[in-house]
Amino acid sequence: MTIDNLVVETACGPVRGTETGLPGDRVKVWKGIRYAAPPLGELRFRGPQPPQRWTEIADATGFGPVCPQPTIPNMPIDLGASQDEDCLRLNIWTSADTEPGAGKPVMVWLHGGAYLLGSSSQPLYDGRTLASSGEVIVVTVNYRLGALGFLDLSSFSTGRRRFDSNVGLRDVLAALGWIRENIEVFGGDPDTVTLFGESAGAGIVTTLLAMPAAEGLFARAIAQSSPATSVYDAGRARGVAVCMLDKLGINPADVDRLAQVPAAAILAASKEVFDEVPVRNPGTLAFVPIVDGDLLTDNPVKLAQEGRSRPVPLVIGTNKNEAALFRLMRSPLMPITPHAITSMFNQIAAEQPDLQLPTAEQIGSAYSQVGRRARPLNIATDVGFRMPSVWLAEAHSMVAPTYLYRFDYSTPLLKLVLVRAAHATELPYVWGNLGGPQDPTLKLGGAKIARAVSRRVRTRWINFARHGTPAGPDGEPDWPRYDDADRACLIVDKRDTVARNVDAHIRAAWGGQVVGFR
């Protein structure tokens, strides 16, 4: 029931939004809506609980707090809001003429940030452009990050204190449940929800595809640069937890003290662990989803290969030069030097002696056309992002329509600094927010072509959310489904083109060995 144009009665209570934009391009937006109780005190490291109902109209004109996170000097992020553990909020954009019960498709965004950084309120993810067309409703979601969301303490549970696994994933499930219950009064169709995300957000998307608890919560999925194989077992997760406790000076027998530890101390310890893990074990992250035997019974790619992923239409792909961003930022998160790549392979071989890894000759042959300096970057891109996406596309195509893409477009500035189509460079094109404060890539020109690329990408994403097929604007090539016959892949560049079996050389090198299962 709508009280007025901007006050909406949700199942938890009324919320007041605001209207913004230029005439003919106006949107309604509700920001900072609480979808779960504050995860404070005894609820820290526990799955989200329903919020208490409110009766007074809640102000939804400003973003709510975002999950506390450390500062990474080489990864400056404008979070768009203050930090606080009371962060389980979401934001909704609709066109100004959208009415309750309009039944519009819904696009729900999960931000990236290595499971440690980011927020739903980053200026880059402003939903005005996507929503102003009137074709979809856009929702962006906060979830708990780093140690607060992905530190697995479940093996330390006692009679005094229980800890839940995969808390960040449980947050996303709670948000999707809230959306299913409430989105109709904002004009959305709860049965036509497309879950989309990038990097860690895409990793959550591909993980939820393997989770029975996600059934019925979304009808379509888009995974942009998913680290789909960065899902670890309980043993590795326990090792990270022990390291965290040691840095906090807490004996495992006293783990219930964590409820009272200041958030600043947890952030400081998590930053140290986050920095140390990829140095000690190249190619791994400290805080990721885990196979807990509860929400998740096995690695998502493996489950997909067994035909056990959720049978919903999927768009999945990567950028051509993913690893170049990590080199530019001097980040240790990806193994981008020959030494780090060799170390990663040696550790995988030691941990999994039965895994038939590619030989040096096979790898050399696959990358023989790549210059010596660029070779490690290409290998890192393929191990971290491209091959997991290809493996998942191959498997998921057996249960549902699947569309594979590669984003190749880069502006003159990105070519000059030698990153080209690096990790995350597609984001302004998806959101239609080119040239904003978070996007300096048009400084050397290229705006006309970039806007045309963005228009095509947004059209395809919106059409996928509306109809389940990623059709482009009139005159653009059809994007065929991915299958074993021709392995079609949409190449997004100055023009959209369709390539057949574009990954043949790396598929031959990596074969069926899912190297990221660690």
- State the catalytic residues: 199, 322, 423
Under 8 Å between Cβ of 230 and 288? yes
- C-alpha to C-alpha distance for 175 and 35, rounded to whole angstroms: 6
The pair of structure tokens assigned to 304 is 């997909």
Residue type for 416, please? L
Rg (alpha carbons) of the chain, rounded to whole number: 22
Angstrom distances, CA of residue 290 to CA of 148, 238, 299: 14, 10, 8
- Alpha helix positions (H), 335-484: 338-351, 360-366, 375-381, 387-396, 412-416, 427-431, 447-467
Residue type for 365, please? S
- C-alpha to C-alpha distance for 223 and 209, rounded to whole angstroms: 11
Tokens 């986050």 belong to which residue?
A: 274
Under 8 Å between Cβ of 313 and 464? yes
Residues near 287 by beta carbon (within 8 Å), at least 6 away in sequence:
115, 116, 145, 146, 147, 149, 150, 151, 240, 270, 274
Half-sphere exposure of 488 (CA within 13 A, CB side): 16
Q: What is the dihedral of CA 290, 398, 485, 494, to 10 degrees?
A: -60
Three-class DSSP category at 414: helix
Residues near 22 by beta carbon (within 8 Å), at least 6 away in sequence:
none
- Alpha helix positions (H), 183-299: 200-208, 234-248, 263-280
DSSP string over 140-189:
EE----HHHHH---GGG--SS----S-HHHHHHHHHHHHHHHHGGGGTEE
